[in-house]
Amino acid sequence: MPPSSRNLRAVARAAGVSLATASLALRDDPAIAAETRLKVRIGAERLGYRVNPLISELMGGLRHRRRRQDVTMAEIAARAGVSRAKVSLVLRHPTRGSPDLAARVSAAITELGYRRDPLHAALLSHRRSNTTRPKHTTIAYLTSSAPGVNWRKFVSHQQLFDGAVQRAREIGYTLEEFSLTSNMSARRLRVILLARGIHAIVVAPVPDGCRPLDFDFAEFSNVGLGFSFGWPPIERVSNDHFQSIVLAVRECRKAGYRRVGLVVSRAVSERLGNRWLAGYLLCQSQFPGEERLASLMPETVADIPTALPAWLHRQKPDVLIYGDSELGKSLAELVPARIGLVNLHRSSTGSTESGIDQASSEVGARAVDAVVSQLHHNTRGLVPHPSQHLIPGRWVAGETTPGPGRPRK
């Protein structure tokens, strides 16, 4: 179907309504009758028309622009003694005009306190392009990799990505992976993104063995997934690890277990800001003295199998909570069957383990919502006090916590 048949005018014609009515109906405006809204949606689906969310947001902002922006380009032009066209030229392409023109317009802008609305400028640019192809709707998914390290081998990382892709598609955006590798520097990638008009980035978790992020986020809306990197300080969306382990301990106690142990490598714990450890220690402080256990926390995951037997002998847990997802199979072999096992990073599909579903797909989706919100509010670069969005985990009772003294299946 040719692009000309997939515009709003074609949708309005197919539904037998005016252009304004079609626009309101697609935004689900209650002023339009439900029957008409349904008819317009059906027409849009048949024609393959998709609402560009950014342009929709821009149009909404444009309708209220006078309330937000008291200073106009006409006033700037009058103050500088030039035409509106020349003011627009300086705003869009500061280096194309003469230095004198740029200086006069800049002085007028400063005196009047004018602030350019980037989204309004993007809308005008979209109109000038005379094309129906949506612009500025690609979100970069920034990953890091190193020789022998592939983020896709981690189930939770793949679920984060899948959730972000799905959410982006639902609201009319495209999520595209860009990876920092030995062949792709942060500086080069930044140039590529800007050249393609991509100004929104979701930063994926950084696997162990990958170099720290050194990307310059100055011109990008940005949201990070999880707490695997400490720098840069950006807005983040993550599972609530503190809530998750408190929930896991309480469910173990509810099932009758009284000696609840924690096994996690120090490397993983510190990547998460010791949130699992903090929740565990809080719960332990509320137990009788004889039921309090010291956690097993060797430096790396590889050190756990060696340290585990002596720790089991000393602490005598009746259920063991672990946080290194790759430990599952080895722990099942190393830990006696009478001891329950709880995975703090349980796979959401095909698993019979008891543990916490970290809602990774939902975390990925919320990250897309957060970065799109930044994009619409013109938030770029690093902000002084970045927010954190914590998604609670969900307890899933499986076959590895049958009850005290009962063998695991």
CB 2 within 8 A of CB 48: no
- CATH 1.10.260.40 range(s) for the chain read 3-51, 70-116
**What digits encode the pLDDT tens for the residues 279-334?**
999 999 999 999 999 999 999 888 999 999 999 999 999 999 998 766 767 788 89
**What digits encode the pLDDT tens for the residues 336-352?**
999 999 999 887 667 78
**What digits encode the pLDDT tens for the residues 117-151?**
655 555 555 555 544 444 458 999 998 876 676 77
Q: Per-residue pLDDT averaged across 86-101, rounded?
A: 76
Instruction: Give CATH superfamily name and number for 241-359.
Output: Response regulator (3.40.50.2300)
Beta strands in 87-187 (DSSP E): 138-144, 174-180
Strand order from edge to edge, sheet including 319-322:
260-263, 319-322, 340-343, 354-357, 394-396
Classify domain 3-51 at the CATH topology level: 434 Repressor (Amino-terminal Domain) (1.10.260)
Counting beta carbons within 10 angstroms of the beta carbon of residue 142, is it exposed (0 to 12), middle (13 to 18) or buried (19 or more)?
buried
CB 355 within 8 A of CB 343: yes
- CATH 3.40.50.2300 range(s) for the chain read 138-238+362-390, 241-359
Into which CATH architecture does domain 70-116 fall? Answer: Orthogonal Bundle (1.10)
What's the pLDDT at 251?
96
CB 164 within 8 A of CB 226: no
What's the pLDDT at 140?
94
Into which CATH architecture does domain 138-238+362-390 fall? Answer: 3-Layer(aba) Sandwich (3.40)
Q: Extract long-range pairs of 60-64: CB within 8 Å, 24+ residues apart.
A: 61/117, 61/119, 61/120, 62/120, 62/123
Select the more confidently predicted residue: 19 or 374.
374
Enter the pTM of the model. Answer: 0.67
